[in-house]
Amino acid sequence: MDTRSVGIVETQYATLFEPPNELQLDSGEKLGPITVAYETYGTLNQERSNAVLLCHALSGSAHAAGYHEGDAKPGWWDDMVGPGKGFDTDKYFMICANVIGGCSGTTGPSSINPRTGRPYGLAFPVVTIADMVRVQRELLRYLGINSLLSVSGGSMGGMQVLQMAVDYPEMVRSAIPIATAPLQSAQGIAFDVVGRRAIMSDPKWRGGNYLSFNDPPLDGLALARMVGHITYLSEMSMRRKFGRRLQDRERYGYDFSTEFEVESYLYYQGDKFTQRFDANTYLYITKAIDYFDLTNGKRSLAEALRGVRSKFLVIAFSSDWLYPPAQSKAIVSALKANDVDVSYCEIESDYGHDAFLLEVEEQERLISNFLAAVARETVISDPH
């Protein structure tokens, strides 16, 4: 095991928003009780001032770092979270929670509806990024944390970072949104729509009630993942990784079997995804992403960010065409218009959108230095 690993970890669970104190959702509906799956790494100091919240992307979970007992693979951001890493668990108390609507322990469409005793399915209310952040805030309150040294995440996680800085400016000392955008673009919505249609067109989806038949729409979910996964790569990374190479053959078969390496790779990614993810959760989370728009009801992004007090580090990647650098630069410009302390770094990378999970070395340097500067200003004590 990596000497900089946090080691064996366990997912914990909190029950929040118990009736009559249900969560008021943006849709107008109420939801409660809500179970939240979360993990923590490191030690909270006496002043409770060294807490850092990590927000996961579409397919992520609370398991950001370390290993679950018996697992061969670590958490989704293990390269960045641990002793001496970018998010240094010798210095900071890290928290990561599965979002509401998820399928990795937090209440979502596959959870049991207490009113019916059956899975929610499409009876689960539609949620937004702001709803996810409200649940995160309540979890922090449950943990006795009223101030965050920082909040960070990539992609949809970055959207949560922005939303939290806007909605809870008094508690977020710094923010690190990575490979994200202030709103979901028409192109992003278009890809999400195709993914949702793939799932809902699978005969086994059964109007969202497939759990009652124990026969989920795996083909539709795999296809949705294949489409989504293309957006995470770049043309250059695909050319370098696959080119036009054939899989296990030397010449064309002149049929419709899997022939190219890139075909085989996408089929593999789609099938692997179905082993750990719920089809309805894919619908709900992509819909939450599509609804995300900080400028909604505002005249400009600058107006939307007017109340922000956090110090910002905004990171983008040159070959990311899902959330291109121009969208991060728009965030930076709007923050500067409000005299917010903001640093911007565009990392040269061929990995596309997935670079936020793969370009570790430069992110480690940027994030560790940024957090150290914020910590010096906050005067946090040694957690040990």
Q: What domains can you pick out in the chain, each with its CATH number?
A: 12-182+293-378 (3.40.50.1820), 189-286 (1.10.1740.110)
Please identify which of the residues 5, 63, 353, 354 carries the catalytic annotation: 353
Provide the 10 A C-beta neighbour count for residue 112.
12
Q: Is the pLDDT of residue 382 over 60?
A: no
Mean pLDDT, residues 282-304 taken together: 98
* Residue 285 pLDDT: 98
Let me know if 63 is a catalytic residue.
Answer: no
Mean pLDDT, residues 5-10 taken together: 97
Instruction: List pLDDT tens digits, range 145-192.
Output: 999 999 999 999 999 999 999 999 999 999 999 999 999 999 999 999
pLDDT band at 378 (very low <50, low <70, confident <90, very high): confident
Please identify which of the residues 320, 328, 349, 354 carries the catalytic annotation: 320
pLDDT band at 26 (very low <50, low <70, confident <90, very high): very high
> How far, in Å, are 8, 9, 42, 59, 72 from residue 69 at the CA level?
6, 8, 18, 21, 9
Q: Is the pLDDT of residue 1 over 70?
A: no
Please identify which of the residues 155, 174, 310, 319 carries the catalytic annotation: 155
Let me know if 353 is a catalytic residue.
Answer: yes
Q: Is the pLDDT of residue 3 over 90?
A: no
Q: Is the pLDDT of residue 41 over 90?
A: yes
* Residue 2 pLDDT: 67
The pTM of the full predicted model, rounded to 2 decimals, is 0.96
Nearest by Cα to 205 from 191, 190, 193, 219:
219
Mean pLDDT, residues 69-74 taken together: 95
Let me know if 320 is a catalytic residue.
Answer: yes
Q: Is the pLDDT of residue 25 over 60?
A: yes
Mean pLDDT, residues 84-101 taken together: 98
Q: Is the pLDDT of residue 14 over 60?
A: yes
